[in-house]
Every structure is written in C-alpha cells, then in structure tokens.
Structure 1
C-alpha cells in the first residue's frame, strides 16, 4: 500500500480536433466552378466576371445577375456595331459640263 493520495490523473491529450463539418444543405448556393477565359475586351470580361456573383446567391437571385449581364453584353455588342470614327466622306458631285464655252 502506498501512503500517497492519488491525485488527478493527467488528461489524455486531445485527439487532433477535426474541423466541425458544416451540415450539408443541398439547397444552399454553391459555385459551379465554371472557368471564364478572358476575351480581350475589358467590358465583356467584366460582365463575364459578374456571372460569378450568381455563385453565392440562391437560385431566385440568379435572374437579376443574368439579366444584368445580358443587358451589358447586348449594349457592348451594339456599341461595336456603331460606326467608329468620323463619318465617311461623301462623294463629290460630278462636274457639270457647260456646253456654252
């Protein structure tokens, strides 16, 4: 027998605490992981990047993003169709022939 009083036993080292797994919610927004390649047109690239905003929204919020991107792309393409630079020169009238000279 021992005259010593047993003290508190040292606690076992905690196992590596695994990060708490978040509850899976199939209805929660999730990124689609679609990569967007640059087009070389800054305006178009900005609108395509805007599509990433839909990754963090519920499905009913996607419509607003898609409509905004569609409107911006349509406006950008319309601007590309507009004539750039000064107006084309008008053909000069043909010289009239004066038969009286």
Structure 2
C-alpha cells in the first residue's frame, strides 16, 4: 500500500493553510480552483484494516476534487474486502 503522503499533490507542505478570517470552504465553493483543507479529523475505529482504509481519506485534504475518485475507489474496495472477510469468518 502506498503511503498517502507519497501521492502527488498530497504532501502536507504542498497544501496552503487557509488565511486567518477566510470563509469556510463550503462558502467559497465554485469561486476559485484553489483546493482548501476540509479540516475533518479522523477518529480510529480500532480495526486495523478499517483504520488503514479510512486513513487514505486523509490524503485528500487540500487536493482538488478531480483527484479524489481514485482514492475513494480504493477506500471502497478495501472496506468491501474487510466486510467480505467478516462473512467468511
């Protein structure tokens, strides 16, 4: 599994911090092409496979929307495999 931070354009230092007093990302949607961090915090579930899959979503913070699909597909596949493994147990 590649490190989420190693994905192009997802390194934390590549994502500019929002300026103090700037509007929330939802308030500026569609106004410009600049990607802004969502600020959503990840809470571990305690299941290593689920946590690894959900951890991939952190790589999307600040990435333009068009770069999200491959990560969403990967997370969906991993969670599906985790559920299927529960059925086999």
Q: TM-score interval w.r.t. the shorter chain?
A: 0.5 to 0.7
State the Cα distance separating 1:35 from its structure 2 match: 1.2
Q: Does 1:51 align with 2:57?
A: yes
Match of 1:81 in 2: 87
* Greater gyration radius: 1
2:43 corresponds to 1:41: no
Partner of 2:67, secondary structure, is helix
Q: Does 1 or 2 have the higher relative contact order (CA < 8 Å, sep 6+)?
A: 2
Shift in Å, 1:28: 1.7
RMSD of equivalent CA atoms? 2.0
Deviations 1:5-62 (A, max 9, x none): xxxxxxxxxxxxxxxx8xx984222221111111110010011110011114211011
Count of residues paired in the alignment: 61
Query: Aligned equivalents of 2:55 and 2:37: distance in 1?
Result: 13
1:69 maps onto 2:43 in alignment? no
TM-score of the pair, normalised by structure 1? 0.53
Using the size of structure 2 for normalisation, the TM-score is 0.60
Structure 2 unaligned segments of length 5 or more: list them.
1-18, 23-30
